[in-house]
Structure 1
């Protein structure tokens, strides 16, 4: 409900400041929904095959929702105006609340009483905001300027303080003991890097289509449709079957390699690129990679978490994705801007300079996926818990 009300405020925002404040509240509501939804999936679907299918659907909502939003946003912006990208959430939110009240079982809350970790929430939020702000403005004010160095130092200090707070408070926002679980720790590290690369794909490829190829918002949205359809197919069925058949490690490794190839193809996209030759192949490969990824990644993260901690663990997983996406996008966008500025100074024309910056970001994004695959290869997941579906896969099928 909070997300829905905040969406209404965003759609009616009279100023930039009001819009930013409403977006912050919207993000807070969305974070609550994401954490609770993953915890519900883990607790309501206890049979291995059912859980794999449920996680596939949940994965599609998360990974496919972003790219579907690009398509819907393009249609709404092109047909109406930008206010409707927020107002469209009203009927969806109201419907979601009504269905939740009707379909979700009523479960008692925990009998344990704990204080809200306000200090931890403030320090981690301030640290992340300061880090992203410093990275985004680094090109403008200088990376070695006192302002940038001071902001980065302040962000590091706040994040260190957050870890100290979490190690001492009775009811921590992020219980550090959960990171002793190898699968959860590994999946979160992979998720941070994975989200950074995927966020960059969504944002920078949309800029390439709009600013370099001259696409309208609607055309940009339609360009993501092949990836959307592929992610839907994998997330709504194929990904679960792959997990049941091959476990977690294999599909996750393959998807990281596919994401690397997909971004590498965008590195060679030209100024006068063709959709069929230079955009569609990467969209197909990236769609397959993203569609395969989310289900095994979430299963790896949650597989060895005790049921009583599933809510906390799901919050950590979603936070890792958001942190990775925010920082990754900030870093890659800053690299693209810096490269573009350098090329403009050398006398290159505007479009070629922009494209060079995007190429740099796509290349670094591909290297991020390669690093992620290396981490996965170097870290052994707990097989008895990380692959809970092999036993089911050996059953005869009729």
Structure 2
């Protein structure tokens, strides 16, 4: 009898009921990671996979250069403005249900876009993809957070997930180039149908159903309207800056309106009975610092993908496929570094030192890229900087995602995950517009006093604009290293600290 009581007590100390049956789904957690990773890859690569196909789509559907940007912007507008809303909805209805709904919606929207007979249908499909992506992204990350509760396994899972999040844009460029060059531009959309079907089958089979918890939050309707409209205003304003002056009312008006709405939203979160984004999620130092790191990295990393893509294709005359291949060493460096950083270093040192060093390395790689010229070669002038940037981003993404979703209650897991994705997405949208605007200004200034009809002058002006963007991106990473280094807490995560322990309820 005493032995039985001792066994039961020991079991309780270990944190498990002595008579609890083994969790068959937990034994399949690595397969669940594969399903979640597949969904995350689809979300991230869709930001860039259509970019390379745009010229072919434009010819096929006969839309103007002015309309072309909306194929990209429609996705980011819907995605960025609805992430927090669907993050909270996933906490209400369940993350498994939201994940499946998002996958089905993404498949349907992709099929519609691939079959689009005209520009209007294609833009509508891209917006619907963004809506589905906003459903998927927070559900995927919160499922990851609640599936892996062991510290070492959680680190490995977040390393894989962070690597996918950081490299998905480059993979999208490669896949988009292959599909466009060897099949048809429509396959950059149709490919998502196949990915979604695989993920739906895996999610329905592997991810367990859980009984409805009484601790589920209610929806904050006023907060939802405020934050969705505010994020829409910011994303639209920065996207509009790509084709309009910063002084245009359609640019600054939306930016100011978005900022005001977000300020009102922040005030409302201190008054709401059931806040959409409880400030306790943001104000813990490690989570807040991690969200800021994702935001600043989203701004800076677009300097690599956007302008280096232009340089390789327009100045070095790479094909779309070869341009994608050129980014693969960076992807490999990012994946390897993310794995090592999160499995070996994060448990020992925490996020602070990793994010700080990662941002310094990414900034150093961007500064190194400023040495490009018309006579540069890939091996001598591009490969090295790409590897350094890849290592730097690998040290940022996975630890920041891990820290950004740690220490939250089960009913806040979805919105914490949504905040990680929101900050990265908004950062990317701002980075695209900001760096594009700075590059365009540098291009125009370079032409002053020179022959603008000369192809050589035009080529040098383009490279000057890319270098300007790289310097700004380097500065953003350097500033991020200082700011995040000051905010993030030093030392390894303490499992006994409620601000460090992962959420363990599904």
**When the two structures are superposed, what TM-score results if normalisation uses the length of structure 2?**
0.72
2:438 is equivalent to residue 351 of structure 1: no
Alignment partner, residue 285 of structure 1: 388
- Say if 2:179 is the partner of 1:76: yes
**1:366 has 2:474 as partner:** yes
Map 1:20-99 → 2, pairs under 5 A: 20-99=123-202
**Offset at 1:151?**
3.1
Number of corresponding residues: 389
Shift of the alpha carbon at 1:86? 1.1
Task: State the Cα distance separating 1:236 from its structure 2 match.
Answer: 4.2
Q: Is the 8 A contact 2:350 2:493 kept in 1?
A: no
Matches within 5 A, 1:117-132: 117-132=220-235
Compared CA separation, residues 109 and 201, structure 1 to 2 (3 A):
farther
| Aligned counterpart in structure 1 of residue 306 of structure 2, from 203, 216, 232 | 203
Shift of 1:286: 1.3
3-state secondary structure, aligned to 2:282: helix
- 201 and 120 in structure 1: CA distance in 2 versus 1, 3 angstrom threshold: farther
User: Which consecutive unaligned segments of at least 5 residues does structure 2 have?
Assistant: 1-103, 498-506
Counting only pairs closer than 5 Å after superposition, residues 134-283 of structure 1 correspond to structure 2 as 134-138=237-241, 141-237=244-340, 239-283=342-386
Distance 2:494 2:448 in 1: 51
Question: What CA deviation, in whole Å up to 9, does each residue of 1:33-55 have, x standing for no partner?
Answer: 22112111221211110110111
Q: Deviations over 1:284-304 (max 9, x none)?
A: 111111222211111221233
Report the alpha carbon displacement of residue 174 of structure 1 after superposing the two structures with TM: 2.0
How far apart are the structure 1 equivalents of 2:239 and 2:111? 28
Deviations 1:215-257 (A, max 9, x none): 1111110101111222232334564222234332222222111
What per-residue deviation string (whole Å, max 9, x for no partner) do you get for residues 258-302 of structure 1?
101111111121123211111111111111112222111112212
Q: Following TM superposition, by how much is the alpha carbon of 1:139 offset from its aligned partner in structure 2, in angstroms?
A: 7.0
| CA separation of 1:319 and 1:89: change in aligned 2, threshold 3 A | same
Q: Which runs of 5+ in 1 are unaligned?
A: 390-398
Distance 1:381 1:34 in 2: 26
Q: Secondary structure at the match of 2:184?
A: coil
* Aligned residue number for residue 335 of structure 1: 438
Q: CA deviation at 1:108?
A: 2.2
8 A Cα contact 2:293 2:396, kept in partner: no
Mapped to 2, the partners of 1:387 and 1:259 lie a distance apart of 30
Provide the C-alpha distance between the structure 2 equivalents of 1:174 and 1:287, rounded to a whole number of angstroms.
Answer: 32
Does 200-209 or 155-164 show the bigger shift?
155-164
Q: 1:129 to 1:218 in 2, by over 3 A?
A: same
User: 1: CA distance between counterparts of 2:431 and 2:218?
Assistant: 32
Cα offset, 1:112, TM superposition:
5.0
What is the distance in 2 between the residues matched to 1:141 and 1:86? 29
Structure 1 residues 273 and 238: CA distance shift in structure 2, 3 A: same
* Aligned-partner SS, 1:4: helix
- CA RMSD between the two structures: 2.4
Superposed, which structure 2 residues align to 1:11-22 within 5 Å?
A: 11-22=114-125
Native 8 Å contact 2:351 2:488 kept in 1: no
Please state how far the C-alpha of 1:129 moved relative to its aligned partner. Answer: 3.5
Structure-1-length-normalised TM-score:
0.90
Q: CA distance change for structure 1 residues 140 and 58 in 2, over 3 Å: closer, same or farther? A: closer
Q: Does the CA contact (< 8 Å) of 2:355 and 2:485 recur in 1?
A: no
Tell me: higher relative CO, structure 1 or 2? Use CA pairs within 8 A at least 6 residues apart: 1
CA distance in 1, matches of 2:448, 2:242: 14
Contact 2:294–2:397 under 8 Å retained in 1 = no
Deviation of 1:364 (Å) = 0.6
Give deviations 1:372-394, integer Å, cap 9, x for gaps: 100122224174646889xxxxx
Q: State which of 381, 386, 390 in structure 1 corresponds to 2:489.
A: 381
CA 20–292 in structure 1, closer or farther in 2 if over 3 Å, else same: same
Q: Report the secondary structure of 2:459's partner residue.
A: helix
Instruction: Check conservation: 1:48, 1:388, Cα contact below 8 A.
Output: no
1-structure distance, mates of 2:354, 2:322: 32
